[in-house]
A and B are shown apart, each in its own frame.
Chain A
Amino acid sequence: AQTVTQSQPEMSVQEAETVTLSCTYDTSESNYYLFWYKQPPSRQMILVIRQEAYKQQNATENRFSVNFQKAAKSFSLKISDSQLGDTAMYFCAFLTSGTYKYIFGTGTRLKVLA
């Protein structure tokens, strides 16, 4: 069975600094997708970034980028130039290609400090 592990329950970063959130996963599948979702205090889950496992190039979305290490089964999220609005719970998620069973990690609570 697939598992997703986020080993950092809480993190903080100074405004304008860079922070990296860790995520590891376990799977025997070769085709899958990985995601980072953000859940601010408003509760809505917002897609931050998405990575297809078959793509070697790391995904980027503006200030958000990932470091995808397929062999190590690692999928970390880097937030550059952190902003107060980045304060949220961040969930890493895994999806096996051809299924709809998303597996979510336990989340990392990020606080951006002014």
Chain B
Amino acid sequence: SAVISQKPSRDICQRGTSLTIQCQVDSQVTMMFWYRQQPGQSLTLIATANQGSEATYESGFVIDKFPISRPNLTFSTLTVSNMSPEDSSIYLCSAETGGNTIYFGEGSWLTVV
């Protein structure tokens, strides 16, 4: 397993602003992922954060709205750009540490007003 730290844990953001969420893993991992969990819903994969190359986005998610960085094997950021109330969600960072199993950070709860 791995210890995955995310920050901020929660924030209240103004409409039209952007917020960057940071994710730190305590060991080097090949695969990191960003998920969105809208209120009362299941998890939806936003993108796979690839080290040294552009992230791979799922259908319905675009780089302009959710730019992702992955500068090394232990760190990634997700930016939620030009936020609207519909972006109010929990954003979860996860990492695959081996054994085809992913572990999650504590989540970042964003409320857009």
Contact = CB atoms under 8 A, between A and B. Distances in A.
B53 interface: no
A106 B96 CA distance: 22
A44 B101 contact: no
Contacts of B102: 100, 102
Contacts of B68: none
A68 interface: no
Interface of B: 1, 31, 33, 41-43, 45, 48, 90, 92, 94, 96, 99-107, 109
Given A44-B106, A45-B43, 20 more contacts: A35-B101, A43-B109, A44-B104, A45-B94, A45-B104, A45-B107, A47-B101, A47-B103, A50-B99, A50-B101, A91-B43, A95-B100, A100-B31, A100-B33, A100-B48, A100-B96, A100-B102, A104-B42, A104-B43, A107-B42
A45 B4 CA distance: 11
Q: Is the interface of B mostly helix, strand, loop or mixed?
A: strand
Nearest to B48: A100
Contacts, number: 43
A19 B100 CA distance: 27
A33 interface: yes
Interface of A: 33, 35, 37, 42-47, 50, 91, 95, 97, 100-102, 104-107
Contacts of B48: 100
A104 B103 CA distance: 14
Contacts of A105: 42
